Structure 1
Amino acid sequence: MRKTPSTARAANNGVGYEWEYAKPQDDRTRWEKIKHGIWNPETHQFLGRTAKSWGGIITFYIIFYGCLAVFFAICMKVLLSTIDDHEPKWQLEDSIIGTNPGMGFRPMPGVDEGSLIWYQARNTSNVETWSKSLDLFLHNYNNSDSLPGHGHNQMICDYNIPPQPGKVCAVDINSASWGPCIHKANYSYSRSSPCIFLKLNRIYGWMPDFYNDKSNLPQQMPDSLKSYIKNVTDEKKLNTIWVDCYGEAPADKEHIGEIKYYPQRGFPGYFYPYINTEGYLSPLVAVQLLRPKLNTLINIECRAWAKNINYRRSLQNREGSVHFEVMID
């Protein structure tokens, strides 16, 4: 019903005029309204747009997103042209990683366990869990076919036989030099004398500065390691990144017992520098705790020794060493 000017003026408190026009009543069903919204036969509109309108907007978005795709492709081409697949652009002092390699250990405990290796030596399931963890870590060492190039460029190296250009040194993890730290012996976990594997993180182009002068060893170096170095008869074997493990606190030093290193007490120098050669495997050192005290938590630190490996013992930013705990029930 149409309002008169007087009623409109009264409803608007006398300010301006408000006119409303009567509209014809829409008797269509909801489904008819939906169909009419999808296709209007009177105006030939589909979803509210004519064919010309749809053609214009589709053409606009094709051109718009096509230009974006071309611009993105150009940016990626320029970016990838600055990247070398073989070596990083920023190396050593110029890189974020720097020149101080970190050290890691395996087997790695679960997230909830932090750095604690805790198991029951008589529990077959416990021993198998840790053994499988090491099997997984050593998979590429035991299966050269899984390496890039299937390990065809690997060779047996020695201090007298460094790797040839394009070749890498093989790590025979099952040789007799690894003692009980092999899969067949369950890495000695069932004997309450577990083996923990150590490795240095890779830094492209980094070359260690060895402590290979027996008469010029650092004062803070442990006496046991000094004695070991001084007893090395082959001068070339002094080109080694030495490793020393010990209990952190006085109680830990008492409980840790004797330690043995396989295949030797350090990382051979002929594995360095790392230059991303296909099939490269990092050298390993297996640390066996021969007689650790049972049912006791033992805090252990292992340190790498080279003149250009800086050492800092910090809970937030540990450098040149690695910390883990062992508890055997």
Structure 2
Amino acid sequence: MAADSTYMSASVKSYPFSMSDKSALNKEEIIVKDDELTWDEQWHNFRVWCYNPKYREVCGRDGLGWAKIALFYFVWCMFMAGVFASFVGIFMAIVDKRIPPYRGNSSAIALDTSRPNPGLGFRPQVSVQKTLIKYRSSHRDTWGHRYGWGEYKEQLDQFLAYYTEADVRYQRAIDCDGVSIDKLRPQFYDGKSCRFDINMFRNRQTPCVTQRNFEYNFGRPCVLLKLNKIYDWEPITYQNAAEVPEQFKAIWESEFSDYILVECNGENDVDRDFIFEIEYFSQMNTTRIGGFHRNFFPFVNQDGYRSPLIFVYFKKIETNVLINVECRAYARNIEHNDSLEFKRGSVHFELIVE
């Protein structure tokens, strides 16, 4: 068929068009011709494609066409959602929700090391991205760009409330004082855990209590430490003075053999010069060092489990100076790494008291 500018393709809705017939631009049809379309013709086609009042079409489809395609995609999405839900249901049915399938040396935690290695966590912490504790001891609330100590006190109160809330599962926790770990271990796997008595801090008249604002208002902050939970990990504690690191040999006592030892200090020599006195408040009967009792391990997802806690009391530090603090946990199966990327067996935070 010979090319003709007035010829319209039969495959589309069209209107007989002639280049001399300018009124064709006002017709409710798509303009199709062999020659290149002008800008006015392209704009006309676009408007008609967006909405054609003659055929009641939107974007080239009438209501029935859009209904069909919507029904198709709805059925397709429901089918895919059903397949996904089925696989999730099968996965949840065959996977134990309490016991991880890979643990110990096979767990993801042990990929970078030869064995699982717990770290430490600290409170208060403004956010998980920040490790700085900065405040003015003379101001309780937030002031300008600086934090008042009131916010840190509230964070500690909220965290400690978790240990005093009326949780039925927590009521199942048992008193483990004086009980050997060999007798406790079978009970742990039955879902029971040791009760951590948060009131001991108050009973020992420590400064790290909410009634004394955790000493933040005096520029002597209390920082809370906890050991990160690793399923089925059990500490191998030091049993005599010959096994412990050098800094503990002079203060070794027989009760230390039941504890994961914890010590905090300045991260560098300069930081150590700014820390004059530290005291520890934990289940141990000494303030020279902190400790987590071994009876709280292993953690096996017991209902109502509460991690043991240590308060580190910075009794005397330099003010208006940034102090980098590192706290380390010590046991025979806890390794340490000084790399900034991998802080194994330790935690780092900064202190500025103005």
Q: TM bucket by the smaller chain?
A: 0.7 to 0.9
User: Residue 20 of structure 1 aligns with which residue?
Assistant: 6
Letter in 1 for 2:231: Y
Residues in 2 aligned to 1:60 and 1:190: alpha-carbon distance in whole angstroms: 66
Alpha-carbon distance in 2 for matches of 1:90, 1:209: 21
Partner of 1:11: none
Deviation at 1:290, TM superposition (A): 1.1
Deviations 1:99-152 (A, max 9, x none): 10111111114578x322222222222221110121122221132x2x4x3522
Residue 38 to residue 90, structure 1, CA distance change in 2 (3 Å): same
Partner of 2:250: helix, strand, or coil? helix
Structure 2 residue corresponding to 1:115, chosen from 123, 131, 135 = 131
Question: Which deviates the most, 317-326 or 162-171?
Answer: 162-171
Answer yes or no: is the 8 Å Cα contact 1:174–1:182 preserved in 2: no
Distance 2:69 2:126 in 1: 57
Q: Report the TM-score when normalising by structure 1.
A: 0.78
Q: Which residue of 2 aligns with 1:128?
A: 150
After TM superposition, the structure 1 = structure 2 runs for residues 87-236 of structure 1, keeping only pairs within 5 Å, are 87-98=99-110, 99-110=116-127, 114-125=130-141, 126-143=148-165, 145=166, 147=167, 149-160=168-179, 163=184, 164=187, 165-175=190-200, 176-177=203-204, 179-214=206-241, 216-218=242-244, 221-223=245-247, 225-229=248-252, 231-232=253-254, 234=255
Aligned ranges 1:251-266 → 2 under 5 Å: 251-263=270-282, 264=284, 265-266=290-291
Alpha-carbon distance in 2 for matches of 1:49, 1:184: 70
Question: Which range is displaced more, 307-316 or 237-246?
Answer: 237-246
RMSD: 3.1
1:173/1:152 CA distance change after superposition, 3 Å: closer
Partner of residue 37, structure 1: 55
Partner SS, residue 260 of structure 1: strand
8 Å contact from structure 1 (residues 178, 286) kept in 2: no
Matched residue SS, 1:122: coil
Aligned-pair CA distance for 1:178: 6.6
1:242–1:136 Cα change, 3 Å: same
Structure-1 separation of matches of 2:319 and 2:70: 74
Q: Map 1:242-257 to 2 at 5 A.
A: 242-257=261-276
Output the amino acid matched with 1:292: I
1:178 and 1:262 in contact (8 A); partners too = no
What is the CA deviation profile of residues 187-214 of structure 1, one whole-angstrom value per residue up to 9, with x for unaligned ones? Answer: 1112222111111111000011111223
Distance in 1 (CA, whole Å) between partners of 2:151 and 2:316 is 21
CA drift at 1:161? 6.3
Shifted more, 243-252 versus 297-306: the winner is 243-252
Give the aligned residue type for 2:250: S
The amino acid of 1:38's aligned partner reads: R
Give 1:275 deviation, angstroms: 0.2
Identity level (%) = 32
Q: Cα–Cα, structure 1 residues 288 and 57, in superposed 2: closer, same or farther, change >3 Å?
A: closer
**Aligned residue-pair number:** 294
* Alpha-carbon distance, 1:308 to partner: 0.8
Question: Structure 2 length normalisation: TM-score?
Answer: 0.73
Corresponding residue SS for 2:226 = strand
Mapped contact 1:37–1:47 kept (Cα < 8 A): no
Distance 1:92 1:177, change over 3 A: farther
Name the CA distance, whole Å, in 2 between partners of 1:56 and 1:321: 61
Cα drift, residue 60 of structure 1:
5.0
CA spacing shift, 1:109–1:19, aligned 2, 3 Å: closer
SS of corresponding position for 1:277: coil
Alpha-carbon distance between aligned partners in 2 of 1:261 and 1:110, rounded to the nearest angstrom = 24
Given the alignment of the two structures, is residue 324 of structure 1 paired with residue 321 of structure 2, yes or no?
Answer: no
Distance change >3 Å, CA 325–CA 156, structure 1 → 2: same
For the structure 1 residues 178 and 212, does the alpha-carbon distance in structure 2 shift closer, same or farther, using more than 3 Å as the test? farther
Does the 8 Å contact 1:167/1:277 carry over to 2? yes
- 1:173–1:182 contact (8 Å) kept in structure 2: no
**Alpha-carbon distance between aligned partners in 1 of 2:335 and 2:352, rounded to the nearest angstrom:** 29
User: Structure 2 CA distance, aligned partners of 1:290 and 1:152?
Assistant: 35
User: 2-side partners of 1:115 and 1:150: how far apart?
Assistant: 32
